[in-house]
Amino acid sequence: MPERRGKVYRGIRARGKCEVLVQSGSRTYTLRHRVLHSPTGFEWGYGGSGPADLALAILADVTGSVAYAKAMYQLFKWDVIASLPYEGWVLTEQEVRTWVDQHPGTYVPAGAAG
């Protein structure tokens, strides 16, 4: 059975703003910005409102649970997003899932509920 690679998240600075591209197999899309704190979009490399929205979006995308993302995004922001390099970065789905596994919060993986 082939190894499942999962998604790859790439933070880039383009056209004067931050964007996150998600590669999932042969498909690439822009990560949806869920406006909670920052009306101007994503950011990273510090602990502000743009990084908070990025943390929320990545957790929701990886887990499929907005409830989990809303419960845990501030901790994920400080643990991961705040330390990402300003110039750009790459984060794998597996890296995010490892963090989620270490911080279960209220997350129940799909299919785990009886």
**Beta-carbon contacts of residue 101 (< 8 Å; ≥ 6 apart):** none
In tens, the pLDDT along 25-75 reads: 999 999 999 888 998 899 999 999 999 999 999 999 999 999 999 999 999
pLDDT band of 114, cuts 50, 70, 90: very low
pLDDT of residue 2: 40
What are the pLDDT digits (tens) for 10-30?
Answer: 999 988 889 999 999 999 999
What is the C-alpha separation between 82 and 11, in angstroms, rounded?
Answer: 13
Q: What contacts 9, CB < 8 A, 6 or more positions away?
A: 20, 21, 22, 31, 58, 90, 91, 92, 93, 96
